Structure 1
């Protein structure tokens, strides 16, 4: 096993560990360790809410999820010799739930969760149709996930980190804050908000001197969106065997990682749409000196997906076009067409006895495929969502016999005091 550079004790909160990670992006967050090009090492990761979401049949924890505290990131790790303009090569050697802990109160100890966030606390891709908080808990058996909240489905997860990236330079951070602040100013009272500004009170800034936390926290970028440094890209195919090439913006690169997922559908459409968990990730790092100019990779990582993934061979696909539910035509709006494809899949699954919320949670958590299928045929873009038929314990295909009726069981918990 590679040396564990960031061990976590499951009995202690993230902020009470021997080494302190961070939950904001800023060039002044110091590295907790230095590795060399060619090194392999292990990193423990806590799920993004650090245990705030529990294994029960209530969604009150999702309704009141502490979004200001996320993501709980392990790192940063400096890479010896890395300089701005280089490309950092990161190989994912292995990734999985918390080792040797198959039961316990933390997500990753034999279980994980998926949530639909309330519209007034984060929202989601389909927040206008699903404004309330719901939750599904998934049990792990090897690589297979099942849920008491979404019966008659089981599938292999494609385990991956939702978030990994390098530190921004001061100039890049200022660019982020300017452009996101300008966006917020166009509709400052929108619910959910258009972007998340810096927020110092809940910032965790690793080994930075505590006297600097307020100043740095008031500048540091929130970790919710993906940006030029990688970050919260939520790409399900960044799994075991993947190789990622990250732009380097500061000396040492300062790589951080977290937000592990047992499984996820393309788009992570419920926002907390993956199966969230804590666990471990084994990484190998190397450098391409001057690689940003050599390969024209000045912003956003490029990657080679791993070859280890569930072997689904049959799919049931749904399409959507850029027409609103009210019948308004939009011009080549691929975001809208993917929403409509997902809604068509949900409408279909409801015919088998699932509630709309159960179907929505399933599309967020299962390894569905989402595609932009047509982006040139004015005025309609066409998006498609592919559901692997093998994840259902019944024949989900249309037939003259009509849809099988599942027993919905206890259903997906809804927050009792939801609007």
Structure 2
């Protein structure tokens, strides 16, 4: 529990879609700090004893549950909600899966795969992978947002102007996020907590891990923000930079094709250098490798690069 928090929102208060008609479970004043009990993206489907067979029984209508919503007093359309990530309380267990039909290379990886993670929730030391890999951890919220103005239920899976499934790994402790408000009270919810993720989350899952999170809420009146923005409190890559990177590229007139080529090249490289099965390399790329647009002006071809941190195996 959070001793400095003004409110607690229990995990039982969760939902699976963005909808302005969902009644708030709490009303909070600006300046309040709220403790959210968040579920992982599988809503607890995977457990320490799970096997790859459990991937096939995952109910996709119940993925990415978000805890909430809460009503922020005084919040009106045109305002911005300022959210400061105060602290994370990890569980020590996580999972990564290749879910058939989902992910950047879904056409190449058609069979289910599952990796289970156990990590020290106190020290947050790098989590063991395979025989000699260790993945640095960085807890963050993948799904975070307020209700859209448009009536009806909206899928929890895609990101949108008011937040949602942003999957930005830098939304971690110390970061300040700003979201545009479209409905009275904002109706804020959060979930899909991760222990680590690479930029791109290429296989579709990160180290999915149940966590609780403390967030402070403030209002910026009349901000007229068009899209989410955020400010980090310091460097965002130094936990991975220590040993440098292996980098593969994709070059051509389409950024999506370039991204696929860069990731495919890294999967092949990791297999050759470290003896990983392709499915292992794919999932590992998703939890700690970074897709970057290296060049987007020298027409007709653009360059996408995939950075894999050497510290994982050294």
2:203 alignment partner, one of 260, 270, 288: 270
5+ residue gaps, structure 2, are none
- Give the conservation status (yes or no) of the 8 Å contact 1:138–1:145: no
Q: Is 1:82 matched with 2:63?
A: no
Give the match for residue 100 of structure 2.
Answer: 118
Distance (Å, rounded) in 1 between the aligned partners of 2:311 and 2:186: 42
SS of 1:48's equivalent? coil
SS of 1:42's equivalent? strand
Give the match for residue 356 of structure 1.
Answer: 278
**CA spacing shift, 1:308–1:239, aligned 2, 3 Å:** farther
TM, length-normalised to structure 2 = 0.92
Q: Is 1:152 matched with 2:132?
A: yes
- Give the conservation status (yes or no) of the 8 Å contact 1:240–1:308: no
Q: CA deviation at 1:387?
A: 1.6
Q: CA deviation at 1:155?
A: 2.6
Q: Is 1:316 matched with 2:245?
A: yes
1:342-382, CA deviations, whole angstroms, 9 ceiling, x for partnerless residues? Answer: 1111111111211111111111112x232100112223211
Q: Is 1:340 matched with 2:288?
A: no
SS of 1:313's equivalent? helix
Distance (Å, rounded) in 2 between the aligned partners of 1:49 and 1:371: 28
Distance (Å, rounded) in 1 between the aligned partners of 2:119 and 2:6: 26
Q: How does 1:40-55 map to 2 (within 5 A)?
A: 40-55=33-48
Q: CA deviation at 1:244?
A: 0.7
Q: How does 1:242-321 map to 2 (within 5 A)?
A: 242-272=175-205, 274-292=206-224, 297-298=225-226, 300-307=227-234, 310=239, 312-321=241-250
SS of 1:41's equivalent? strand
Give the match for residue 168 of structure 1.
Answer: 148
Give me the CA root mean square deviation: 1.7
Q: CA deviation at 1:262?
A: 0.3
SS of 1:82's equivalent? coil
1:214-257, CA deviations, whole angstroms, 9 ceiling, x for partnerless residues? Answer: xxxxx311100000111001001111111011000000011100
Give the match for residue 176 of structure 1.
Answer: none
Q: Is 1:5 matched with 2:20?
A: no
Distance (Å, rounded) in 1 between the aligned partners of 2:204 and 2:191: 16
1:23 alignment partner, one of 16, 34, 49: 16
Q: CA deviation at 1:284?
A: 0.6
**CA spacing shift, 1:146–1:290, aligned 2, 3 Å:** same
- Give the conservation status (yes or no) of the 8 Å contact 2:247–2:306: yes
Give the match for residue 132 of structure 1.
Answer: 111
**CA spacing shift, 1:71–1:311, aligned 2, 3 Å:** closer
TM, length-normalised to structure 1 = 0.70
- Give the conservation status (yes or no) of the 8 Å contact 2:240–2:309: no
Q: CA deviation at 1:59?
A: 0.9
1:365-418, CA deviations, whole angstroms, 9 ceiling, x for partnerless residues? Answer: 12x23210011222321111212211114xxxxxxxxxxxxxxxxxxxxxxxxx
Q: CA deviation at 1:146?
A: 2.8
Q: CA deviation at 1:145?
A: 4.0
Q: CA deviation at 1:58?
A: 2.0
- Give the conservation status (yes or no) of the 8 Å contact 1:54–1:61: no
Larger Rg: 1
- Give the conservation status (yes or no) of the 8 Å contact 2:76–2:183: yes
Give the match for residue 200 of structure 1.
Answer: none
Distance (Å, rounded) in 2 between the aligned partners of 1:126 and 1:115: 13
- Give the conservation status (yes or no) of the 8 Å contact 1:92–1:239: yes
